[in-house]
Amino acid sequence: MTSTYSNREAPSPPGRRSQPDPGSVHLAGLGRGLAKSNFLAFLMMASLPLLCDRSAAQSDDQKQALSSTEQIVQDHVEKGEEADVSTLPDRRLSSTFLEGLLFKKGFPWHLEKTGIHISGAKVVGPLDLANLEVIHELSLTRCEFTDDVIFSNTSFKKSLDLSGSTFDRRADFNMLRADGRADFNDTRFKGSVSFQHASFANDLSADGATFLNNTETVWFNNIRVAYNVINTHGIFAAGANFSDADISKGLLMSDTMFSNADSVADFHNLKAGADIKLDNAVFAGDALFSSIDIVGSLVVSGGAFTNRNRSAAFDHVKIGSDFKADETHFEGGARFNNAQISGQLDISSAKFRNETSPANFTNVTVGAGIQAKGATFAEDASFDYVRVRGGLDMTEAEFKALAIFTGADVSGTTTLTGAKAPKGISFKNAKFDRLDINGLLPWKWDEKSLSLTGLTFRDISADDDRLKSSDKLKEFANFAKYDSRTYEKLEAYFTEQGEPGKANDIFIDGKRRERDEVFHKRNIPAACGSVLLDWLVGYGRIPALALIWSSFFVVLGCFIFRKDEMEPQQSEAGSHRYSAFLYSLDVFAPIIDLKAKSRWVPKSHKRAIWVYFVIHTIAGLLLVPIGLAAVTGILK
Average pLDDT over residues 452-479: 86
If asked whether residues 257 and 356 sit together in one domain, one would say: no
CB atoms within 10 A of CB 112: 14
- Flag whether 287 is in a domain: no
Q: How far apart are CA 374 and CA 275, in angstroms?
A: 26
Residue 506 inside a domain? The answer is yes
Q: Is residue 30 part of a domain?
A: no
pLDDT band with cut points at 50, 70 and 90 for residue 528: confident
Instruction: Say whether pLDDT at 6 is over 60.
Output: no
Burial (0-12, 13-18, 19+ Cβ within 10 Å), 43: exposed
Cα dihedral: 424, 429, 430, 436 (round 10): 50
CA distance linking residue 505 with residue 21, whole number of Å: 145
**226 vs 463, which has greater pLDDT?**
226
**Looking at residues 279-283, what average pLDDT do you find?**
96
**Of 193, 194, 188, 160, residue with least CA distance to 174:** 194
Domain boundary among the residues 488, 522, 556 is at 522
For residue range 63-94, list pLDDT tens digits in order.
448 899 999 999 998 888 899 999 999 999 99
Distance CA 402, CA 529 (A): 38
Residue 492 inside a domain? The answer is: yes
Q: pLDDT by residue (tens digit) across 92-115? A: 999 999 998 887 665 555 666 778
Q: Where are the beta strands (DSSP E) in 63-107?
A: 83-84, 92-94
Q: Are residues 157 and 204 in the same domain?
A: yes
User: Half-sphere exposure (CA, 13 Å, Cβ side) for 411?
Assistant: 7
Candidates 161, 251, 150; CA nearest to 191 is: 150
Band (174; pLDDT cuts 50, 70, 90): very high
Please list the alpha-helical segments (H only) found in 447-542: 466-479, 484-496, 500-520, 524-537
**Same domain assignment for residues 482 and 547:** no
Q: Are 212 and 188 in contact (CB under 8 A)?
A: yes
pLDDT reading at 287 higher than 70: yes
Q: Which of 469, 491, 522 is the last residue of a domain?
A: 522
pLDDT (mean) for 494-499: 87
* C-beta separation of 365 from 339 below 8 A: yes
For 317, residues 6+ apart whose C-beta sits below 8 A from its C-beta are 289, 290, 291, 292, 293, 294, 298, 323, 336, 339, 340, 341
* CA pair distance 539, 532, nearest whole angstrom: 9
Q: Please, what's the b/e burial string for 499-537 (b: 16 or more CB within 10 A of its CB; e: otherwise)?
A: beebbbbbbbbbbebbbeebeeeeeeeebeebeebbebb
Pairing relation of β-strands 409-415 and 431-436? parallel
Could you tell me the pLDDT band of residue 323, with boundaries at 50, 70 and 90? very high
C-alpha–C-alpha distance, residues 367 and 391, integer Å = 9
Q: Has residue 449 been placed in a domain?
A: yes
Distance CA 69, CA 398 (A): 66
Q: For position 31, what pLDDT does the model report? A: 42
- The helix (H) or strand (E) run that includes residue 15 is none
Show which of 382, 415, 448 is a domain's final residue.
415
Distance, in Å, from the CA atom of 266 to the CA atom of 403, rounded to the nearest integer, reads 30
The answer to the question of residue 88 being in a domain is no
Indicate if 177 and 269 belong to the same structural domain.
Answer: yes
What percent of the chain stands above pLDDT 70?
86
- DSSP code at position 299: E
Contact (Cβ atoms closer than 8 angstroms) between residue 396 and residue 416: no
Which residues lie across from 409 on neighbouring strands? Answer: 387, 431
Element (H, E) at 543: none
Look up residue 190 and give its DSSP letter. -
Same domain membership, residue 484 and residue 611: no
* Pair 566, 505 in one domain: no
Above 70 in pLDDT, residue 57? no
Q: What is the spatial distance between Cα 484 and Cα 80, in angstroms, rounded to a whole number? A: 86
pLDDT above 80 (res 229)? yes
Distance CA 392, CA 348 (A): 11
What is the per-residue pLDDT for 63?
47
Residue 58 has pLDDT above 50, yes or no: no
Q: Is residue 486 part of a domain?
A: yes
The pTM for the full model equals 0.78
Percent of the chain as helix, strand, coil, to the nearest 5: 30, 25, 45
Where is pLDDT greater, at 545 or 390?
Answer: 390
Q: Are residue 140 and residue 271 in the same domain, yes or no?
A: yes
| 29 has a pLDDT exceeding 50 | no
Of 5-19, 101-115, 147-161, the range with the lowest mean pLDDT is 5-19
Tens digits of residue pLDDT in 326-354: 999 999 999 999 999 999 999 999 999 99
Categorize the per-residue pLDDT at 26 as very low, low, confident or very high, splitting at 50, 70 and 90.
very low
Strand 398-399 relative to strand 376-377, pairing: parallel
Residue 264, pLDDT > 80, answer yes
Residue with the larger pLDDT of the pair 210 and 440 = 210
Give dist(CA 206, CA 190) in Å, integer.
15
Q: Which residues contact 220 (CB under 8 A, 6 or more apart)?
A: 195, 196, 198, 229, 240, 241, 242, 245
Q: Residue 380 domain-assigned?
A: yes
Find out whether 415 and 392 touch, Cβ atoms under 8 Å: yes
Within this chain, do residues 443 and 508 fall inside the same structural domain, yes or no?
yes
- Kindly tell me if the per-residue pLDDT of 18 is higher than 50: no
Q: How confident is the model at residue 441 (pLDDT cuts 50, 70, 90)?
A: low
Are residues 85 and 121 in contact, defined by beta-carbon separation less than 8 angstroms?
Answer: yes
Domain with 212 in it: 133-277
Residues 209 and 326 in one domain: no
Grouping H, G, I as helix, E, B as strand and the rest as coil, residue 329 is strand
Whether residue 495 sits in one domain with residue 383: no
pLDDT category at 142 given cuts 50, 70, 90 is very high
User: Measured between alpha carbons, how far is 431 from 409 in angstroms, rounded to an integer?
Assistant: 5
Mark whether 402 and 376 lie in a shared domain.
yes
Q: At residue 227, does pLDDT exceed 90?
A: yes
CB-based burial, 333-366: b 16+ in 10 Å, e otherwise: bbbbbbbbbbbbbbbbbbbbbbeebbbbbbbbbb
Q: Which phi and psi angles does 54 have, rounded to 5°?
A: -65, -40
Statement to judge: residues 253 and 341 lie in one domain: no
Domain count, the chain: 4
Span of 127-131, 394-398, 448-452, 596-600 with lowest mean pLDDT: 448-452
What number of other Cβ atoms are within 10 A of residue 395's Cβ?
Answer: 18
Question: Once rounded to an integer, what is the mean pLDDT over residues 198-220?
Answer: 96
Q: 180 near 200, Cβ under 8 Å?
A: no
Least confident of 50-64, 133-147, 206-220, 416-430: 50-64
User: What's the pLDDT score for residue 52?
Assistant: 37
Residue 120: other Cβ atoms inside 10 A:
18
- Could you read off the pLDDT of 352-400 as tens digits, one per residue? 999 998 999 999 999 999 999 999 999 999 999 999 999 999 999 999 9
Average pLDDT of the chain is: 85
Q: What are phi and psi of 430, to 5 degrees?
A: -80, 155
